[in-house]
Amino acid sequence: MFLPRSVKVKRTPDEDRSCTAKKHKLSSGGSLLEETTEFQDCKSVGTETSASTYNLSETVQEHTEPAAADLGVANTPLGKDNQNTDEDGSLEEPIKSFSKSQRWAEPGEPVCVVCGRYGEYICDKTDEDVCSLECKAKHLLQTQAKEKQLRSDQCTDSQAEAHLLNTPYFYKDHSFILGLQDEQVENLKLQLGIAVQGQQVPRPIVEFEHCGFPETLNNNLKNSGYEVPTPIQMQMIPVGLLGRDILASADTGSGKTAAFLLPVIMKVLKETETPSALILAPTRELAIQIERQVKELMAGLPNMRTVLLVGGLPLPPQLHRLKQSVKVIIATPGRLLEILKQSSVQLHSIKIVVVDEDKKLFKPPVLVFVDCKLGADLLSDAVHKITGLQCTAMHSEKSQVERTDILQGLLQEKYEVIVSTGVLGRGLDLVNVKLVVNFDMPSTMDEYVHQVGRAGRLGHSGTAITFINNNSKKLFWDVVKRVKPTGTILPPQLLNSPYLHDQKRREQQRLKQLQSSLVTGDNIMDIIKKHNKNNSQR
Ligand code: AMP
């Protein structure tokens, strides 16, 4: 007996009217024996609902060769088992063996996926509509071919993967990162302020160990004090390691440089041609800073020379070094152009280009001190109107919320200039203020010292510019005494001021008096005599 392994009824009895008509046709005119000879594995079984479309059973156990299995059974002996009779003997329409025996589908009827005729049956293996055993076999053959193709594609994928392992651009999410749920990743990004655009952006890493860096690089990171990646590094490094183009934006001091340097280092590490990478920086200072960081991170890695091509320094040594098989060029655009114009240096071997456009780094906020609230508001407006710089005023009339907002804005460099009364003078650790301007000289030296101390905190250098006029004349000599030892060049108007000389003279007199009132071995007898004289006079 050749019985289908599964039989599913799919069509409703209503749909079956046309089938019934067809059944008659087949049983009267079709050569059933002939047809079933070729499809001995399959057998139509009557169903309780008398529906005529079936989910055709699988015709072979193993689908290594479905065509042969489904079709190549010509040498199988035929017998009554091949007849489409049910076990209870009820008359049942035999399954159509050949496509040509099937009628064309009426509008709205299921259509055979192979030939387009009436899809009277359903293939139990694929759930697709087929018209006959012939089309089922063809359909399975096609399905198998597709599966085979898919398998070979997957094989090609893994070959490509293996190839990728040997290329500079290979990055796969670390198992820890893969283990995170999408929701967790989104949450993490939200909390860290990571926003991304683009197709199939890889997940951020959480630790440098997730990047698959060589041991030396991991050690260099630790030696530089990079314990954990900053948010920009978390997201940018995996994207960079994939060799994707990136446009990234993050605040100054957020670790952007290392975020692009680490993928650059990984890329050039495997390059043999030199130079392999070009990093363009807008200013000499930034280029120098980048080179310092590259060197720190590359330390101990093989064949990783760098060259700094910047203006303001002699060109010949830079040119010479450029020709020494350097891997990474760090340059300002001006000097690079100058070199390219003059020499035969070729840059066609460059595989990766980074443009670091961090203008903000060189526009630290300016803190301006004035002596009254109105002055702060007026000057702030004037500076904004005239220069277009982002400017705000800070004074005692600002609410706590406004003050916090201003201070955060200052630290995040949202504001380029803050005009403040003395309220910002003390206590605050405004590390990123590089320039303090005393638009109005404070009324005491103590306050002055605190205000100029806002620039260059924590060992950073800073600058203070103080405007001084006769309103502060009583402090002239104190200012000079305080500032002169720092090597600052003082204006002649101040140095020649009669007030200053008057103060200086008076101070010297006071000192003299003080000295004369001091008891020393030399003047002790004089003091005693004077004292006795005064007493006798009384
Ligand atoms: P940048 O924003 O690139 O100018 O970096 C600002 C400073 O942060 C530099 O001095 C870097 O050396 C330092 N830095 C960068 N990444 C990290 C990190 N993951 N951990 C600690 N310091 C870092």
Same domain flag for 329 and 443: no
* Res 238: pLDDT: 96
Strand order in the sheet with 391-394: 391-394, 417-420, 366-369, 435-438, 463-466
* Res 336: pLDDT: 92
Give the ligand 1 atom nearest the CA of 233. 19
Same domain flag for 301 and 371: no
* d(CA 507, ligand 1 centre) in Å: 50
**CA geometry: angle at 211 spanning 210 and 212, to 5°?**
100
Out of 77, 103, 129, a domain closes at 103
Give the ligand 1 atom nearest the CA of 230. 19
What CA dihedral angle connects 143, 144, 150 and 155, to 10 degrees?
Answer: 180
Q: Which two tokens stand for residue 417?
A: 């200039």
**Does residue 30 belong to any structural domain of this protein?**
yes
Out of 320, 355, 390, a domain closes at 355
**Does residue 382 belong to any structural domain of this protein?**
yes
Q: Are 331 and 310 in contact (CB under 8 A)?
A: yes
DSSP at 87: T
**Does residue 189 belong to any structural domain of this protein?**
yes
Same domain flag for 392 and 259: no
Same domain flag for 330 and 414: no
**Does residue 280 belong to any structural domain of this protein?**
yes
- Structure pTM? 0.45
Same domain flag for 188 and 310: yes
Is 253 touching ligand 1 by the criterion CB < 6 Å? Answer: yes
H-type helices in 299-420, by residue range?
315-322, 333-342, 373-387, 400-411
Same domain flag for 93 and 63: yes
Residue 456 sits in a domain whose CATH number is 3.40.50.300
**Does residue 406 belong to any structural domain of this protein?**
yes
Same domain flag for 382 and 466: yes
Question: Phi-psi category of 108—alpha, beta or left, where left has phi over 0 and alpha has psi -120 to 50?
Answer: left
Query: Among candidates 414, 455, 409, which has minimal Cα distance to 431?
Result: 455
Is 258 touching ligand 1 by the criterion CB < 6 Å? Answer: yes
Q: What is the DSSP string of 204-272?
A: PPSSGGGG---HHHHHHHHHTT--S--HHHHHHHHHHHTT--------TTSSHHHHHHHHHHHHHHT--
Same domain flag for 376 and 258: no
Print pLDDT tens along the chain (538 aa): 222 322 233 343 344 333 333 333 323 333 222 333 233 332 322 222 222 233 333 222 223 233 323 322 222 222 333 333 333 444 567 888 888 889 988 888 888 999 989 999 888 888 889 998 989 988 888 888 888 877 776 666 555 544 444 555 778 999 999 999 999 999 999 888 899 999 999 999 999 999 999 999 999 999 999 999 999 999 999 999 999 999 998 887 889 999 999 999 999 998 999 999 999 998 888 899 999 999 999 999 999 999 999 988 889 999 999 999 999 999 998 899 889 888 788 888 999 999 887 754 445 688 899 999 999 999 999 988 887 788 999 888 988 888 888 877 776 667 888 999 887 755 455 546 778 999 999 999 999 988 888 776 556 678 889 999 999 999 999 999 988 888 888 889 999 999 999 999 999 888 888 877 776 667 777 777 877 787 777 6
Q: Report the C-alpha gap between 469 and 438 in whole angstroms.
A: 12
Give the ligand 1 atom nearest the CA of 361. 4
Q: Is residue 10 packed enough to be buried (19+ CB in 10 Å), middle (13-18) or exposed (0-12)?
A: middle
- Residue given tokens 């109105």 in the structure block: 374
**Does residue 472 belong to any structural domain of this protein?**
yes
Is 225 touching ligand 1 by the criterion CB < 6 Å? Answer: yes
* d(CA 230, ligand 1 centre) in Å: 8
Q: Which two tokens stand for residue 327?
A: 């891997």
**Best residue among 209, 221, 223, 226 to mutate for probing ligand 1, ranked by most atoms within 8 Å of CB:** 226
Q: Report the C-alpha gap between 393 and 406 in whole angstroms.
A: 8
Nearest CA to ligand 1 atom 8: 255
Same domain flag for 28 and 96: yes
Q: Which two tokens stand for residue 504?
A: 């200086």
**Best residue among 217, 223, 230 to mutate for probing ligand 1, ranked by most atoms within 8 Å of CB:** 230
Is 255 touching ligand 1 by the criterion CB < 6 Å? Answer: yes
Out of 68, 103, 138, a domain closes at 103
* Res 225: pLDDT: 93
* Res 407: pLDDT: 78
Nearest CA to ligand 1 atom 5: 255
Helix H or strand E segment including 33: helix 32-38
Is 498 touching ligand 1 by the criterion CB < 6 Å? Answer: no
Give the ligand 1 atom nearest the CA of 226. 20
State the residue range of the domain holding 19: 2-103
- What's the total number of domains in the chain? 3
- Give the SS3 label for residue 153: helix
* d(CA 231, ligand 1 centre) in Å: 11
* d(CA 273, ligand 1 centre) in Å: 29
Same domain flag for 222 and 350: yes
Is 254 touching ligand 1 by the criterion CB < 6 Å? Answer: yes
Nearest CA to ligand 1 atom 7: 253
Q: Report the C-alpha gap between 414 and 297 in whole angstroms.
A: 31
Is 256 touching ligand 1 by the criterion CB < 6 Å? Answer: yes
- Give the SS3 label for residue 113: coil
